[in-house]
Amino acid sequence: MESSRALLLVAVAAAVAGLAAANFRDDCDIPWEPQNADFTSDGNGLTMKLVSNYSGCMLRTKKQFIYGTVSTLIQLVPGNSAGTVTTYYTSSVGDNHDEIDFEFLGNETGQPYTFHTNIYADGVGNKEMQFKPWFDPTTGYHNYTISWSPCMIVWYVDSVPIRVFRNYQSSKGVAYPTSRPMFAHSSIWEAGDWATQGGRVKTDWTKAPFVARYDNIHLDVCECSGYGGCATSCPAAASGACQLSPAELGQMHWVQNNYRIYDYCVDNKRWTNGQKPVECDLAQQY
């Protein structure tokens, strides 16, 4: 078991190459239900458990940042994970918050997870895009990365870009996170009223505890200090390209053409008189 796990970690290591290694135990806190978190002896691995509908778990980095890349390896809850939500996201605090989401919505045994992505800027979200995975995310570790730069946000799975959200704030007035410091978070919680097949399938608590496994968090970010404020022009901010490479574009097209199951931009019933959000007509996906 340990040897297969090691091989998986080596195979995915390229997905986090160049990022700054961090440590779950030393660089993060557990502000919600810490008794449901267990660290490996070196602090580089973590499990989080959902025990009941009011007792899950949440991890948060100790430091805030503006711009950068956050990445980790996750093995999602196996078996009947219906009603569970495992997350990896960045978020500011306070009113009109900013947030960049990866949420992994569980399902019945044998049915695929839903990868749910969203972005909040100035407190407004409603920019959901969802995917089915092209692999089984419960049998091994896979890399999930959020890259946040001044010009675009990119969601990656195993180094494959699955979505882009561009900064059209100055040119078109589309809200974009630029000034509120964020923490990186991971969590597991219960949402049986909506998470699985629209809430039709509820959480089976006889299968609890539900366990998500994390390994090797990497943070390459512009950190905020208590005295010097936030650096928004550090190397981590500059390292984010403003365009995907041709190869990355091809990968993203493949994912979106074959595995995307929801896109807010084409959900016309959500928009008054069919008027889409401005960014939907601005080559937003590329």
Residue 244 sits in a domain whose CATH number is 2.60.120.200
User: Which DSSP category does 285 fall into?
Assistant: T
Q: Which of 2, 33, 103, 248 is catalytic?
A: 103
The separation between CA 222 and the C-alpha centre of its own chain, rounded to angstroms, equals 18
- State pLDDT tens for residues 5-17: 444 343 333 333 3
- Of the listed ranges 127-131, 166-170, 235-239, 280-284, the least confidently predicted one is 235-239
Extended strands (E) in the chain: 28-32, 37-39, 45-50, 57-61, 65-75, 84-91, 99-105, 114-120, 129-131, 142-148, 152-157, 160-166, 183-190, 210-225, 229-230, 260-263
Residue 7 lies in a domain: no
Residue 249 sits at φ, ψ, to 5 deg, of: -60, -40
Residue 9 lies in a domain: no
Give 233's pLDDT tier (boundaries 50, 70, 90). Answer: low
- State pLDDT tens for residues 169-220: 999 999 999 999 999 999 999 998 989 998 999 999 999 999 999 999 999 9
Residue 100 lies in a domain: yes
Q: What sign does the CA torsion over 216, 219, 224, 227 have?
A: positive
Domain that holds residue 254: 28-267
Q: Is 248 a catalytic residue?
A: no
Of 58, 59, 57, 69, the closest CA to residue 28 belongs to 59
Count of CB atoms situated within 10 Å of the CB of 239:
15
| Helices vs. strands in the chain: H and E counts, helices first | 5, 16
Q: List CB contacts of 204: < 8 A, sequence separation 6 or more.
A: 80, 82, 83
Residue 228 has pLDDT above 60, yes or no: no
Residue 3 has pLDDT above 50, yes or no: no
Residue 144 has pLDDT above 70, yes or no: yes
Residue 51 lies in a domain: yes
Helix (H, G, I), strand (E, B) or coil at 240: coil
In sequence order, the β-bridge partners of residue 121 are: 124
The mean of the pLDDT values for the chain is 89
Q: Which of 99, 108, 128, 248 is catalytic?
A: 99
Instruction: Give the pTM.
Output: 0.90
Residue 15 lies in a domain: no
- State pLDDT tens for residues 102-137: 999 999 999 999 999 999 999 999 999 999 999 999
Q: Which two tokens stand for residue 151?
A: 């010009």
User: Is 72 in contact with 186 (CB distance < 8 Å)?
Assistant: yes
Residue 36 lies in a domain: yes
- State pLDDT tens for residues 30-70: 999 999 999 999 999 999 999 999 999 999 999 999 999 99
Q: Tokens 């779950």, residue?
A: 24
Residue 118 lies in a domain: yes
Residue 22 lies in a domain: no
Instruction: Indicate the number of domains in the chain.
Output: 1
Q: Is 99 a catalytic residue?
A: yes
